[in-house]
Structure 1
Amino acid sequence: MIFIALGSNLSHELYGPPCRVLEEALGQLDDGALSVRRRSRWYRSPPWPLSDQPWYVNGVAELETSDGPRDTLARLHDLEAAFGRRRGLRNAARVLDLDLIDWHGRVLEELEGLCLPHPRMQDRDFVLRPLAELAPDWRHPVTGRSIGDLIADLPPGSEAEPIEDRVSSLR
């Protein structure tokens, strides 16, 4: 299974508020070469680290593709750029953030900007909770820990609240 995390905390001039931005991004990703199988509910979460930025809308989607992880990551970055994201300041507010978080359980040390699984995913409630909806038996490929244990070990104050009622199948 291939999973990406999606996030947005700024509106887009064409697509509107963050939920609509994420829906549009999924629609643009699903182009034949890459297929979006399903996505979690959308979640509302505070900016990390805490700041005066607007809260985020986050989710996780499951993909299918015959491309490799590097090509897929490049496509994610291209789509972010098309939505107006300019990389630079870490943890800055953004219209669109797309992260490759797991690629069939593969482990890759950081090489040319790609590290699998995503190196900080286990620390982020806004990634773990939506991922648990799609893959409740998922285990971290490096540590072997269950997603339930990772969620239970999050520090106090971690919060991601669902803002939708159900998971969506997109195929």
Structure 2
Amino acid sequence: MRTLVFARVIALFGFAALLGGCGNANTTSADAPQSPAMRGVIASASDCVSFGQEAVTACAAAIERAVTRHEASSQTYSNIEACEKAVGANKCERAASGKYRQKLSAFMVSLGSSPRAEPLYPAKDGAVGFQSSDKSTYLASDQSVTFSRLALSVAEMQASPKKGGRRPSL
């Protein structure tokens, strides 16, 4: 009985391989379907899996470099009020130095020959999305930009009106 099941499995794989050879072998690269873009907005290194298992290491390394850039180049403020006056209410975080800076919320990740991640911050004016340090905007409504589920949730949470005043910063 076990031999019969094994033989059926082998036959199925053989048949699939045979069918895999069917089709137009003269298809040019211009006719071939494009691979999905390896670019998108993600909220954490764990979101890197959305680019495929083989891209996780490159994605995580790019995010680590982006966090280092954020920590080194973000303007700091001596108190939360000054930070919120500059970047907006509920858009600040406390740095390890004890000072305040704009909240790092997500990353625009581009994978390819030179993987990159750009730090993203809450969008202005309550928009559902993010903006970069150069003020480029990535909105969830833009169909050309892919958001991970977590990034979309973060963008929606930051865009929703806060009740009861300012949330405490950690």
Shorter-chain TM-score tier: under 0.3
Rg (Cα) greater in structure: 2
Structure with greater helix share of residues: 2
TM-score by length of 1: 0.28
Structure with greater strand share of residues: 1
